Structure 1
Amino acid sequence: MFSIGCHLSVSKGMYRMGQDALSIGATTFQFFTRNPRGGSAREIDPDDFAALRTLMTENGFAPVIAHAPYTLNPCARDERLREFACETMCDDLKRLSLLPDALYNFHPGSHVGQGVQEGIALTAALLRRVLETEPETMILLETMSGRGSEIGGRFEEIRDILDLCGNHPKTGVCLDTCHVWAVGYDIVDRLDDVLETFDKVIGLSRLHAIHLNDSMTPFGSRKDRHAKIGEGTIGMDALVRLVNHPCLRHLPFCLETPNELPGYADEIAMLKARFQSS
């Protein structure tokens, strides 16, 4: 089954997001757990979560993706910022216990001049603390574009964080197509090679979701600029090959393109039309 969705606004509530997803032909979606540029979160409504679970079951949804806010920096130089990240992630995961099959995605962070290895060590240390709370939810490290002092652009950096967490069974990866293209993985002409590299370095069994985006900037730009599907430097044909790849087609795909609901509906219909069901 081809599961594709988009990023929706949690301000409407969980059940309403599920309804919006259905209205545009989606069978998954992504949402921010709280204000993406701040720290405030909606009050938990167990009935709202229960209604969403019922809707998802009745309509064959894939796992939905909860995205941690952008304000978190797990490898910040300032210990107070790292503590804020840890507290926020733990609170998010506690909330997500009401949605047991959800995936929780976060950015590995920026080392802000401390160096890549120190950034990796700090992010892994924070993630180990989060895992000590025994979360029910799978936690995913997102592959990044490598801009500035970001860590997580190279597959080896993601692997090192996972290794330092003992390859905990509740950890995995979300691959972002715009990001990997920007950092220098050629998913247009060498998709099989990229996936082989991912498998050797991390393991395809650790890949649980994909952010499906085109890119406004050229290959290797190290810039995070998402484009609508087929309107960027990756292109429609390459993204169609990706969603049809036998190693990936079973995963939930989530659009993070610059769109509102009607634009997402068009992209979902377009990609479904080119998905090979056999």
Structure 2
Amino acid sequence: MLTIGCHLSMSSGYLSMAKDAVTIGANTFQFFTRNPRGGKAKALDMNDINSFRAYCTQYGIDKILAHAPYTMNICSADSGIREFAKKMMADDLRRMEYTPGNYYNFHPGSHVNQGVQTGIHFIVDTLNGLISEEQTTTVLLETMAGKGSEIGRCFEEISEIINAVEHRDKIGVCLDTCHIWDGGYDICNHLNAVIDEFDRLIGIGKLKAIHLNDSKNPLGSHKDRHECIGKGYIGFEALMRVVNHPVLKNLPFYLETPQPDLNGYRDEISIIRDNFIED
């Protein structure tokens, strides 16, 4: 069965997001834990959460993905920014346990001219300080396009972080199709080779989720500009090969395409479902 959803607004609560997902034919969704530019998170409403969990059971919504704010940089050159980011992630992981067994995704961050190794050191140090044996949430490192001083631009960097995390069973990867395309991985013409490289360097078992996006830019541009499915340089056929690949098809897919409203996501989900090949 295809598990697919899109990015939804947290403003009205968990139950509202779940109902929006069902309305557009989705059976999962992604949301920001707080304002995508950072700031204080909305207070949790236990009545909303309990209703949400019952609704998910009723309608088969599974593996929701919480996305950390874009501004959360745990490998910043500024110690104050790193500390603020660490407190934000700690709060997010605490809140995630009210909806247990789901995913928390974050951008590894930018080393800001400190060098990749220094950046990785700060990332690993934060993760080892926050990830616990008891948590049910799996923390996902997102693959990045490689603009500026981003860390996570290649599978080697992701692998180095994961291998240094103490509770490795609590960490995985969210692969963004736009990002890796912009990063130079040709999933249009050499999808199998890219998957094999991921497996060799990271291990396919660490791949937990996919951001399904087309790209406004050609291969290797390092720009990170998402496009609607089938309207970019990757193309519809190539993205459907991703969705139908035997190694990937049972993973949850999350659309982050630049749709103006939920109707656009409904149309994308519908056409992807129509072209999904059931086992």
TM-score of the superposed pair, with normalisation by structure 2? 0.98
Q: Deviations over 1:127-160 (max 9, x none)?
A: 1111148432100000000000000010010000
Code of the aligned partner of 2:275? R
| Residue in 1 that maps onto 2:196 | 196
Code of the aligned partner of 1:77? A
- Does 2:97 correspond to 1:87? no
Counterpart Cα distance in 2 of 1:243 and 1:62:
17
Code of the aligned partner of 1:258? P
| Residue in 2 that maps onto 1:11 | 11
Counterpart Cα distance in 1 of 2:57 and 2:133:
28
Give the unaligned 5+ runs of structure 2: none
Code of the aligned partner of 1:266? D
TM-score of the superposed pair, with normalisation by structure 1? 0.98
Q: Deviations over 1:193-239 (max 9, x none)?
A: 00000000000100110000000010000011000000000000000
User: Bigger CA drift: 46-55 or 102-111?
Assistant: 46-55
Give the unaligned 5+ runs of structure 1: none
| Residue in 2 that maps onto 1:231 | 231
| Residue in 1 that maps onto 2:264 | 263
Counterpart Cα distance in 2 of 1:176 and 1:61:
21
| Residue in 2 that maps onto 1:72 | 72
Q: Deviations over 1:239-275 (max 9, x none)?
A: 0010000000111000000012000000000000000
SS at match of 1:28: coil
Contact (CA 8 Å) 1:90, 1:133: kept in 2 or not? no
Counterpart Cα distance in 2 of 1:267 and 1:248:
19
Counterpart Cα distance in 1 of 2:188 and 2:132:
39
RMSD (CA atoms): 1.0
- Does 2:185 correspond to 1:185? yes
Q: Percent identity?
A: 53
Counterpart Cα distance in 2 of 1:224 and 1:195:
20
Alignment of 1:49-198 (within 5 A): 49-132=49-132, 134-166=134-166, 168-198=168-198
SS at match of 1:73: coil
Contact (CA 8 Å) 1:68, 1:89: kept in 2 or not? yes
User: Bigger CA drift: 53-62 or 217-226?
Assistant: 53-62
| Residue in 1 that maps onto 2:27 | 27
Tell me how far 1:163 sits from its aligned partner.
Answer: 0.9
